């Protein structure tokens, strides 16, 4: 006989080891938490041949990306959901927020040598209706609180552009 415990965070639901159901209707999520903007997320072009490379990049993340990720993961920033090393078309972006259609690139030394590539990628992403924000790795490493304040006030992250429920 299986004994099911009630979930601590969501009363009335059973605790389980199943993966999170992000993007699915969750009746207990009416607490003001912004849900994944699935409509926006799945509309983006996707190259499945880049999956392995995106996994490698997530595992090998540089220090600035890891520090930034630790400030935005698990909906810590305005309750918005971020993805790390997200495939969009034939590109892998550092961070993507589907709630506000924003791409964030942490620019380090590898970016300084690829101005033409970055320009072409930015033009492509913007043609999809995405806002691209570049942040230098140095600023993330040395001025993280200021970076988060700037992003918090950025028009792309305005509350009314959240896309929640889409």
E strand intervals along the chain = 82-88, 91-97, 102-107, 131-136
Contacts of 164 (CB under 8 A, 6+ apart): 34, 35, 37, 99
User: What's residue 158's pLDDT?
Assistant: 87
Cβ(64)–Cβ(106) below 8 Å: yes
Q: What domains are there in the chain, each with its CATH number?
A: 35-161 (3.40.960.10)
pLDDT tens across the length of the chain (166 residues): 444 444 444 444 444 444 444 443 333 345 444 455 666 778 899 999 999 999 999 999 899 999 999 999 999 999 999 999 999 999 999 999 999 999 999 998 755 567 888 999 999 999 999 999 999 999 999 999 999 999 999 999 986 554 444 4
User: What's residue 38's pLDDT?
Assistant: 64
d(CA 90, CA 53): 11
């Amino acid at each position: 006989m299986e004994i099911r415990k009630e979930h601590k965070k969501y009363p009335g639901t059973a605790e389980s080891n199943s993966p999170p159901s992000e993007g699915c209707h969750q009746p207990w999520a009416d607490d003001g938490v912004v849900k994944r903007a699935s409509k926006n997320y799945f509309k983006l072009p996707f190259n499945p041949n880049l999956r392995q490379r995106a996994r490698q990049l997530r595992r090998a993340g540089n220090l600035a990306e890891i520090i930034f990720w630790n400030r935005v993961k698990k909906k810590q920033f305005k309750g918005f959901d971020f993805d790390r090393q997200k495939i969009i078309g034939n590109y892998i972006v550092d961070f993507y927020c589907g709630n506000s259609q924003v791409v964030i690139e942490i620019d380090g030394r590898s970016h300084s040598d690829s101005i033409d590539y970055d320009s072409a990628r930015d033009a492509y992403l913007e043609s999809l209706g995405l806002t691209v924000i570049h942040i230098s790795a140095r600023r993330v490493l040395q001025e993280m609180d200021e970076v988060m304040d700037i992003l918090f006030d950025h028009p792309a992250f305005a509350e009314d552009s959240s896309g929640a429920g889409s």
